Amino acid sequence: MNIKKLIGSTILTSLTLSSQAAILWTGGGASDDYYDAANWDFSGSSSSVVASPTDDDMTISGASLNEPSGAFTNIEIGDGYTVTLDATSFTFTNNNGFSGVDDAGGTNVPSNAISTLSLINGSSYNAQFAAIGIDVLVDGTSSVIFRGGGDPINSQLERTRIVLAPGAQLTLPSVAEFTEQGADIIVGGVSFADDQSILSFNGTTATALGAIPEPSSALLAILAGFCFARRRRR
């Protein structure tokens, strides 16, 4: 086997193993309790318990969960791990939410890999906040509702970001919260603090529109198209 084939085989094996290393929601328990191990398939993971911080990637598909734990008993997503909500509604009944792990020592600079909450295929996340070094990735069919006032996108310990695809929706307690926390609301790599045109508002719910190109960029694109058309006519 030549070196290219060996490298390709190694990469493929690595990707296959990493895609199998996940904890999957089955809903096989007596209730929809997130912490009930009977609701999960651990066969693709070295873990056998529902840990907080999470110790592997976790995916919840086609479910509707209400997490009723007492106030500020958050679900921590471990450094570098992802919790994916796939066609799933996840509501924290009390003053809770998903968070990362405080390992930056209050410096606001994460010392380890970012934790990720990913929403896809019409999922929704309803919580008091998101906090401590977590990226919340929201696809164009999904939505996030934060009920808590006073920095519901909490970056005091480690930066938290809400990354919206065009079409995604974000609801905050007030429009003023969008202005206060605009640096942590991102669409297409552009923050709301830098360009407020990336969001369209209906009350306190914002829909991501995507960044509008700067005039110079738009002009260059038009000129390039014009030159291309002239070349084709010749």
pLDDT digits 0-9 by tens, 104-160: 665 566 556 889 999 999 999 999 999 888 999 999 999 999 998 778 998 777 889
Helix (H, G, I), strand (E, B) or coil at 182: helix
Highest mean pLDDT among 2-6, 71-75, 195-199, 220-224: 195-199
Q: 16-30, 46-60, 72-86: which range is least confident on average? A: 16-30
Mean pLDDT of 172-185: 94
Is pLDDT of 11 > 90? no
Percent of the chain at pLDDT exceeding 70: 76
Contacts of 59 (CB under 8 A, 6+ apart): 22, 23, 24, 25, 83, 84, 86
> For the whole model, what pTM was predicted?
0.80
Give the domain range for residue 123.
3-233
- Domain total for the chain? 1
Q: Give the residues across from 218 on adjacent strands.
A: none
**CB contact at 8 A, 22 and 58:** yes
pLDDT at 105: 63
pLDDT tens profile 66-84: 999 877 789 999 999 999 9
Query: Is the pLDDT confidence value at 198 over 70?
Result: yes
